[in-house]
Amino acid sequence: MNWFRRLKEGIQTATRFKKPIPEDLWVKCPKCGDTVTRKKLEEYHHTCPKCNYHFRIGPKEYFRIFFDGHYTLLFEEIHPVDVLGFVDLKPYTQRLREAREKTSSTEAITVAQGKIQKIPVVIAAMDFGFIGGSMGAVMGERICRAIDRCIEERMPLIIVSKSGGARMMEAAFSLMQMAKTTVKLTQLADAGLPYISYMTDPTTGGVTASFAMLGDVNIAEPGALIAFAGPRVVRETIKRDLPEGFQTAEFLYEKGFIDVIVDRKEAKATIAQILQVLHHRHLPTRKTKSTSSD
């Protein structure tokens, strides 16, 4: 007989007897288990002060971190349509409604215009909470319009990727967004404007296999999962465990697919530095101290 066997599974306390702890006050790091106050976490740009784990954050947080204060949201009027009448375990329309309520985003990507260290830019950032940050027709269209705005006002483009890939509920339409966004990027390139791809945890599937890998500069956050097929799928296919660190930002950096891995706290400064060089034709001449000896 096993004396220590648990007779019933799971927590037995009913929800109504739960002790009221104010939510959002303390946050536990999923990596090192340390607890930190929400306020301190925000000061650290949502990275763990102890182990530097980069928490998954949404577009609004990235906008707050990257922009010099004020920014304007763009193309919020573009909304998804259930063109296939897609139903799996739930109707697609219900998934959309739930995603909107859960995230306060209107789609898996949010576009905004503002300034990074006084350089006017457009940033498009994804929300993983919105159906896994998946790419449907709205993501494709918002990115294309973001690029049009960049071309009109001679601005660089930054895309913060955080996505499970193409959105299955839009089937072939979502697949075509890979081609659509990429076609549009050729126009941005023809206009001589820089595009920075900023990859965060996780960036996979059709997003990686289109615009995310096509930055003039590819930046990644430390420890981010960046892949085409996700680790679970690869493991099931090859039927053995994956090597340590496989498909991380560091792994792809070593393989030559990522230019720089940047700590989120330094990201803004790094992006500004890169834009100062790539976008120099459209910026006031930079005053730098002469480094040559007199």
Partner 1 sequence: MVFLEFEKPLEKLYTQLEKLKQIAQDGDIDMSDKIREVEQKIKKKQKEIYSSLTPWQRVQLSRHPQRPYTLYYIEKMTKYFVELHGDRCMGDDKAIVGGLAYLDQQPIVCIGHQKGINTKQRQLRNFGMAHPHGYRKALRLMKMAEKFAIPVVVFVDTPGAACGLEAEEFSVAQAIARNLYEMARLRTPILVYIIGEGASGGAIGIGVGDRVFMLENTWYSVISPESCSSILWRSWDHKEKAAEALKLTPKDMLQFGLIDEIVKEPPGGAHYQPEAMAKSLKKHIKKHIKELLEIPIDTLIQQRAEKYLNMGVYSIADQPSSDKTP
With binding defined as CB under 8 A, does residue 253 bind partner 1?
Answer: no
Among 168, 260, 272, 283, binds partner 1 (CB under 8 A): 168
Report the candidate in 125, 149, 134 with the shortest Cα–Cα distance to residue 67.
125
With binding defined as CB under 8 A, does residue 191 bind partner 1?
Answer: no
Among 103, 105, 113, 210, binds partner 1 (CB under 8 A): 210
Residue 175 burial (CB count, 10 A): 16
With binding defined as CB under 8 A, does residue 100 bind partner 1?
Answer: yes
Nearer to partner 1 by Cβ, of 24 and 101: the residue is: 101
Beta bridge partners of residue 198, listed in sequence order: 160, 219
Give the range of 14-22, 61-69, 248-256, 275-283 binding partner 1 by CB under 8 A. Answer: 248-256
Q: Are 74 and 146 in contact (CB under 8 A)?
A: yes
Rg (CA), the chain: 21
Place of tokens 């890979």: 178
Q: Are 31 and 19 in contact (CB under 8 A)?
A: no
- Nearest distance, CB of residue 287 and partner 1, angstroms: 36
- Nearest distance, CB of residue 30 and partner 1, angstroms: 23
With binding defined as CB under 8 A, does residue 151 bind partner 1?
Answer: no
For 140-258, list the strands marked E by DSSP.
157-163, 195-203, 217-220
Give the range of 3-11, 154-162, 233-241, 277-285 binding partner 1 by CB under 8 A. Answer: 233-241
Strand order through the sheet with 157-163:
71-74, 109-116, 119-126, 157-163, 195-203, 217-220, 260-261
Q: How many chain residues interact with partner 1 (CB under 8 A)?
A: 69
Q: Are 156 and 231 in contact (CB under 8 A)?
A: no
With binding defined as CB under 8 A, does residue 44 bind partner 1?
Answer: no
Give the range of 20-28, 152-160, 170-178, 275-283 binding partner 1 by CB under 8 A. Answer: 170-178
Place of tokens 């791809």: 197
Nearer to partner 1 by Cβ, of 20 and 85: the residue is: 85
Nearer to partner 1 by Cβ, of 175 and 283: the residue is: 175
With binding defined as CB under 8 A, does residue 238 bind partner 1?
Answer: yes
With binding defined as CB under 8 A, does residue 201 bind partner 1?
Answer: no
What is the rounded distance in angstroms from the CA atom of residue 45 to the CA atom of residue 294? 41
Nearer to partner 1 by Cβ, of 168 and 283: the residue is: 168
CA-CA distances (angstroms) from residue 40 to 45, 46, 66, 172, 226?
9, 8, 18, 44, 28
With binding defined as CB under 8 A, does residue 206 bind partner 1?
Answer: yes
Pattern 46-85, binding to partner 1, x per CB under 8 A? -------------------------------xxxxxxxxx
CA-CA distances (angstroms) from residue 100 to 96, 103, 168, 200?
6, 5, 18, 22
Binding residues for partner 1, per CB under 8 A? Answer: 77-89, 91, 93, 96-97, 100, 106, 136-138, 140-141, 144, 166-168, 170-180, 182-187, 205-206, 208-214, 227-229, 233-234, 237-238, 242-243, 246-247, 251-252, 255, 257
